[in-house]
Structure 1
């Protein structure tokens, strides 16, 4: 076996490099064009298209991984369904698919997550894991959402009281999934936004996919929804392990945001 000579590095330099370049990132992140909360399929797709258009995008994900509901597949089976025209997005990012009937495709969950995440990062999206968004920033005249308050997920899990840091943004996208966590907080704390949350309905896949895409977009000034957060906010049915709407919803809301924050 060939001898391998590994570069020696002092422990303090390891810490110095990590701290220096992390702080440089955060100095840019605190003034973003778009904050996306949730690194699931709709959030990462939205980030991909926004970053491709030249916007400064950060995705905050409270867990230490991305993919949202993709990884669980259908009851932990490692396949999900994608329907037309969402396969256009997967072709764009290089995901392989098996067409099982006209316009219906089966996709491997690990490949789906990995390539969507890589596409978003390559486009310029900054994805930060282990960060929880627990509030929004607002401004008046006109009333609008202008950013978010963030904490480390581990801090919240520990039960410690620690004040958050603030991140400003021209648009905040709630891509948190079934609970629409960010819109729920904004609705409760800022009733003058007039955001009602009727809650998600039971499954009706045949109509839910299109309804989620059509209804994704602006909820209030500066605040948007995509994916299953849209089902929660608009009172739409759920659809289960079919993900075309998640991708198309992300693309659609990206188009809406780009139009609004030019």
Structure 2
């Protein structure tokens, strides 16, 4: 193995693999260093992959990639202790080409993606930890790995090592230690079920998929969500909550939250008879635009989760990761052509992100996390209130509807004043508008 490359990529998640694929296709000498046994082993993403940003890297990837199901229905459940209020959208068009998104199992998909990257000419080494940078004076010229004689040199290093990037901290791109309110801990189980049962329980035809996001009692009213995604013959079931709020619930661990969600009367029948065959836990970025590190310096770029590129409001992370990897590759290709790897040249990467949906969306929602963290009743009081209101209104007991409406309003305002409700509506409009 040569110890000098054009580009070193640290991490073989979606952003790192996207960058590696595009760079290798351009004939550049690329090495990807992954600490896991193989790509995808350490990722707990629920499992939704978006077609359009992925196709920009590998056209018609779904014809050969190990995707699970094309998603035709997306639901949101507001969860109370024994009831749910359901919102959702179903489209037959999403189940036909060119599709909108798919469920995937990351251990399968990332391994396949890595094979495409290697076939394109990149070198992938696994079970290897990058410990530090190599310097020539103040200039970064490579990385040190935990392997014997493991120094690797390159003109550019792309950091795709995931949330809380220690290497980004070492070079001053990210502050030391991310605030616990900017991180979520996520856990996920893969529960096997015959595909016929999945299609029957979720009202799906062969090949179609559905997703359910759960908010409210599913996470004990903490800021976070649960999820249930349909695969070919399994379900991805998990939840994630802010670390800062989990710490406040002493004695409660993420697995207990997941088991609590699975035992809900609306969830339990969907999982009945399934067998758990995989369990994963991981940190995911929730800080958004406000928590983003500096994205570039001389000879270094930061992509994907390491750059806090995740939009939890719309469950978008993989598309931002892939797009950031693509933009990083385009920037490095231009830098290589000019022989200029300075911060000034690499700043084009951030310019590309700012012109795209990535930073436009993160800027739009930059205050959501702060507002929700300070107003936790959005995840506790309102899911309960909506469920209780509908249960009252839909109960047929010879009580006039006008009287029912008054009962509902009296009950809601006994717990939260009219003034507080108006303030909440205004806050929601401000941060989401």
Q: Name the TM-score, length of structure 1 as normaliser.
A: 0.65
In the aligned structure 2, how far is the partner of 1:217 from the partner of 1:89?
25
Alignment of 1:168-207 (within 5 A): 168-187=153-172, 195-197=173-175, 199=178, 201=182
- Determine whether 1:56 maps to 2:133: no
In the aligned structure 2, how far is the partner of 1:122 from the partner of 1:217?
32
Q: In structure 2, what is the equivalent of residue 226 of structure 1? A: 303
Which one of 70, 74, 78 corresponds to residue 98 of structure 1? Answer: 70
Measured after TM superposition, the shift of residue 90 of structure 1 is 5.0
Q: Which of these two proteins has the greater Rg computed from alpha carbons?
A: 2
Cα RMSD of the aligned pairs, angstroms, is: 3.2
The answer (yes or no) to whether the contact 1:146–1:171 under 8 Å persists in 2 is: yes
Measured after TM superposition, the shift of residue 83 of structure 1 is 5.7
Alignment of 1:47-196 (within 5 A): 47-67=20-40, 70=43, 72-74=44-46, 79-82=47-50, 84-89=52-57, 91-93=59-61, 94-95=64-65, 96=67, 98-100=70-72, 104-109=100-105, 110-140=107-137, 143-152=138-147, 165-187=150-172, 195-196=173-174
In the aligned structure 2, how far is the partner of 1:146 from the partner of 1:92?
37
Change (3 A) 1:120 1:216: farther
The answer (yes or no) to whether the contact 1:44–1:116 under 8 Å persists in 2 is: yes
Change (3 A) 1:90 1:244: farther
In the aligned structure 1, how far is the partner of 2:326 from the partner of 2:294?
10
The answer (yes or no) to whether the contact 2:22–2:57 under 8 Å persists in 1 is: no
In the aligned structure 1, how far is the partner of 2:40 from the partner of 2:332?
22
The answer (yes or no) to whether the contact 1:67–1:117 under 8 Å persists in 2 is: no
Change (3 A) 1:150 1:256: same
In the aligned structure 2, how far is the partner of 1:89 from the partner of 1:217?
25
- After superposition, what is the alpha-carbon deviation per residue over 1:220-245, rounded to whole angstroms, capped at 9, x for unaligned? 100111101111xxxx6563674111
Q: In structure 2, what is the equivalent of residue 40 of structure 1? A: 13
Measured after TM superposition, the shift of residue 85 of structure 1 is 3.5
The answer (yes or no) to whether the contact 1:217–1:253 under 8 Å persists in 2 is: no
In the aligned structure 1, how far is the partner of 2:310 from the partner of 2:56?
24
- After superposition, what is the alpha-carbon deviation per residue over 1:207-262, rounded to whole angstroms, capped at 9, x for unaligned? x99x78xx89951100111101111xxxx656367411111111111111111122
In the aligned structure 1, how far is the partner of 2:55 from the partner of 2:103?
10
Give unmatched runs, 5+ long, in structure 2. 73-90, 185-222, 224-284, 338-433
Q: Name the TM-score, length of structure 2 as normaliser.
A: 0.41
In the aligned structure 2, how far is the partner of 1:225 from the partner of 1:183?
7
User: 3-state SS of the aligned residue for 2:53?
Assistant: coil
In the aligned structure 1, how far is the partner of 2:119 from the partner of 2:183?
36
User: 3-state SS of the aligned residue for 1:55?
Assistant: coil
In the aligned structure 1, how far is the partner of 2:58 from the partner of 2:320?
12
